[in-house]
């Protein structure tokens, strides 16, 4: 009996699945890869990366959450940097590239659903400030706004602050961070994350926020 895309759709709860799920569902075939190739050719399945697939638009139950895909495409990883800074309103620009940090290597994946990039972060700096974010039937890992800002500062090798005064140019003019939003950042959480980073530039950020932003 030929397993159709609709049969596949009825047996899978989510709008994405991996190669192991597919081969299990296609276990009746002697060559399941051939059937997968047929699904890809007709557009009922779309390959995001090797071993990860989403259903074509006709078969989706809802829009594909790119936040969840980001965690699945390459890991361990969590959303951070410009994507989170934009999402939480700290920067005004809309960011289309989905940015994450990882304990693995630097990677960029150009997929049918957009570009997903990953910057490396050492393990002791990775966990503090990371959180689960609920979204319908699924959750994904993302940085808190405080962690996204520190991750951005740490990863931006173009910026070499000489002192606290340099942060105004960098934060408010280069990154175009919203000053009112900077005041809403949790100072205790910032301090906790900064302790894990053990970095002069991160400590200077904390001092700048305390002396310049909090007292305006």
Q: Are residues 98 and 171 in the same domain?
A: yes
**pLDDT on residue 215:** 64
**pLDDT on residue 25:** 94
Number of domains in the chain: 2
Q: Are residues 55 and 70 in the same domain?
A: no
Tell which residue, 49, 50, 175, has the closest CA to residue 116: 49
pLDDT digits over 2-54, tens only?
889 999 999 999 999 999 999 999 999 999 999 999 999 999 999 999 999 99
**Domain end among 18, 40, 59:** 59
CA–CA dist 52, 108 (Å, integer): 15
Indicate the average pLDDT of the chain: 92
Q: Are residues 85 and 13 in the same domain?
A: no
Range of 97's domain? 66-213
Q: Are residues 21 and 81 in the same domain?
A: no
**Is residue 50 exposed (0-12), middle (13-18) or buried (19+ Cβ within 10 Å)?**
exposed
pLDDT digits over 106-150, tens only?
999 999 999 999 999 999 999 999 999 987 778 999 999 999 999
**Domain end among 44, 59, 74:** 59
Q: Are residues 132 and 202 in the same domain?
A: yes
Q: Are residues 87 and 118 in the same domain?
A: yes
Q: Are residues 27 and 76 in the same domain?
A: no
List Cα–Cα distances, 144 to 10, 78, 85, 167, in angstroms. 36, 10, 9, 21
pLDDT digits over 43-71, tens only?
999 999 999 999 999 999 999 999 999 99
Q: Are residues 29 and 74 in the same domain?
A: no
Q: Are residues 55 and 75 in the same domain?
A: no
Count of beta carbons in the 10 Å neighbourhood of residue 153: 20
Q: Are residues 52 and 96 in the same domain?
A: no
The CATH number assigned to the domain holding 112 equals 3.30.460
Beta sheet of 107-111, edge-to-edge order = 107-111, 114-120, 98-102, 77-79, 138-143, 130-135
**pTM of the full structure:** 0.92
**Domain end among 27, 44, 59:** 59
Q: Are residues 75 and 181 in the same domain?
A: yes
State percent of the chain over pLDDT 90.
Answer: 75
**Is residue 117 exposed (0-12), middle (13-18) or buried (19+ Cβ within 10 Å)?**
buried
pLDDT > 70? residue 216: no
Q: Are residues 79 and 180 in the same domain?
A: yes
């Amino acid at each position: 009996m030929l397993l159709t895309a609709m049969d596949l759709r009825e047996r899978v709860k989510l709008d994405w699945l991996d190669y192991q799920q597919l081969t299990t569902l296609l276990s009746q075939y002697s060559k399941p890869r051939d059937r997968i190739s047929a699904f890809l050719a007709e557009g009922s399945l779309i390959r995001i990366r090797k071993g990860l697939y989403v259903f074509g638009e006709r078969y989706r139950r809802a829009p594909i959450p790119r936040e969840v895909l980001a965690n699945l495409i390459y890991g361990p990883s969590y959303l951070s940097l410009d994507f989170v800074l934009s999402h939480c309103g700290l920067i005004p620009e809309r960011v289309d590239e989905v940015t994450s940090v990882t304990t693995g290597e630097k990677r960029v994946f150009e997929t049918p659903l957009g570009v997903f990039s990953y910057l490396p972060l050492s393990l002791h700096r990775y966990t503090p400030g990371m959180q689960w974010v609920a979204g319908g039937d699924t959750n994904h890992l993302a940085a808190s706004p405080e962690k996204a800002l520190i991750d951005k500062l740490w990863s931006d090798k173009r910026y070499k602050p000489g002192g606290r005064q340099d942060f105004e140019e960098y934060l408010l003019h280069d990154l175009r961070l919203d000053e009112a939003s900077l005041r809403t950042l949790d100072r205790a959480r910032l301090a906790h994350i900064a302790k894990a980073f053990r970095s002069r530039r991160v400590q200077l950020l904390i001092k700048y926020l305390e002396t310049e932003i909090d007292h305006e």
